Amino acid sequence: MSLTASRLVALLAIADAGSVTRAAANLHTSQPALSRTLRTVERELGVTLFERGPRGVHPTPEGERLLAHARALDAVLTAAGREADALREDRPARLAVGVAPGVPLWPVAEVVARIACGPRSRRRSGRPARREREGTIDVTVVVEPRPSLVELVTSGQLDVAIAPLTGEPQPSIREERLYDERSVVAGRPRHPLSRQATVTLADLATWPWILPPRGTSRRSWVERAFAAEGLEPPRAAVETADIPLQLALVAGSDLLCPFTREQAHAAGPGLLWVAPLATPPEDSQPVGALTASARPPSPGVSRFVDLLKAALAVG
């Protein structure tokens, strides 16, 4: 059969509307015409794609499989439309980037600033000329948990995301490892434990902790490190993923908190005491670039990832 883009768009419209009648209105076509399209596709495939009920239609398992491809195609067409609009209106290309909480922002910020500014020429007067379209990219950056980033990348709302890699394959996502993130436990510079030459996890367990939510990379690191020594993980006296709040709480109390090495370094000299663990956990968390497997990375995404690799290598 010929499964055209228009037929896939029709199936997607039916699924999103939950009704053939509403989908037809959204597509500016008639309900009988859209029903014929659906029946034709189902007949040619030999499967039922939607279950009909008094409250509308719902995709069958076979329908869900086909709709995954329809959504991928819709994301590609949407991205192509944005690019065509940018070319027609002489606007810079656009790049939507997602970052997971806890991922160091300095390399992302460095690369975003570089590609957003693009090449600049100067007039003889020395003042900057209007930025050139070629090589310049308008960038949108959002910070969301990894599950949300995966959904946004898959749907085409994000072009690329920087997030921890779980090691669990996801068919809709392409992962490219960038670096390994190591974590530390830190407190205020004059924390009572800071007088010890070395500390153990058992020592740290007796103090109150600030912990990120369950499922985050730093929380998982703490749980794995304590479990490896046969210890119960510390209780979260405060639970928050907000790093500025974590730093403020640590500075004004005896609370302990896990940070990545990059976060502890970025806090500045003298602002944190990093616990000198007698037996540092060897565990590390790989971090990488997530892109949609259904579509090849755009030149803007490839450039972003390459520049990010270069920034991390220098840093």
Q: Which CATH number fits domain 183-283: 3.20.20.70, 3.40.190.290, 3.40.190.150, 3.30.310.80?
A: 3.40.190.290
Q: Which CATH number fits domain 5-71: 1.10.10.10, 2.40.160.210, 3.40.190.10, 1.10.620.20?
A: 1.10.10.10
**92-180+287-314: in CATH 3.90.700.10:** no
Task: Determine the distance from the C-alpha atom of residue 179 to the mean position of all C-alpha atoms in its chain, rounded to a whole number.
Answer: 15
pLDDT at 87: 59
Q: DSSP E strands: which ranges in 165-305?
A: 173-181, 183-187, 209-211, 236-239, 257-260, 273-274, 285-292
Interatomic CA distance for residues 107 and 309, integer angstroms: 9
What's the average model confidence in pLDDT over 103-125? Answer: 72
Interatomic CA distance for residues 302 and 311, integer angstroms: 14
DSSP states along 180-191: EE-EEEEE-TT-
pLDDT tens, position by position, 16-29: 999 999 999 999 99
Q: Which pair of tokens denotes residue 102?
A: 């806890």
Residue extents of the structural domains in the chain: 5-71, 92-180+287-314, 183-283
Interatomic CA distance for residues 271 and 279, integer angstroms: 23
Using CB atoms within 10 Å of the CB of residue 14, give its burial: 0 to 12 exposed, 13 to 18 middle, 19+ buried: buried
Residue 134 has pLDDT above 50, yes or no: no
pLDDT tens, position by position, 29-85: 999 999 999 999 999 899 999 998 888 899 999 998 888 878 777 776 776 676 666
pLDDT at 79: 66
Lowest mean pLDDT among 169-173, 186-190, 270-274: 169-173
pTM: 0.59
Q: Which pair of tokens denotes residue 192?
A: 């009572």
Give, in order, the Cα–Cα distances in Å from 110 to each of 63, 114, 238, 311.
43, 6, 32, 8
Interatomic CA distance for residues 290 and 103, integer angstroms: 13
What's the average model confidence in pLDDT over 119-144? Answer: 59
Interatomic CA distance for residues 42 and 51, integer angstroms: 12
What's the average model confidence in pLDDT over 187-197? Answer: 95
* Same fold yes or no, 92-180+287-314 and 183-283: yes
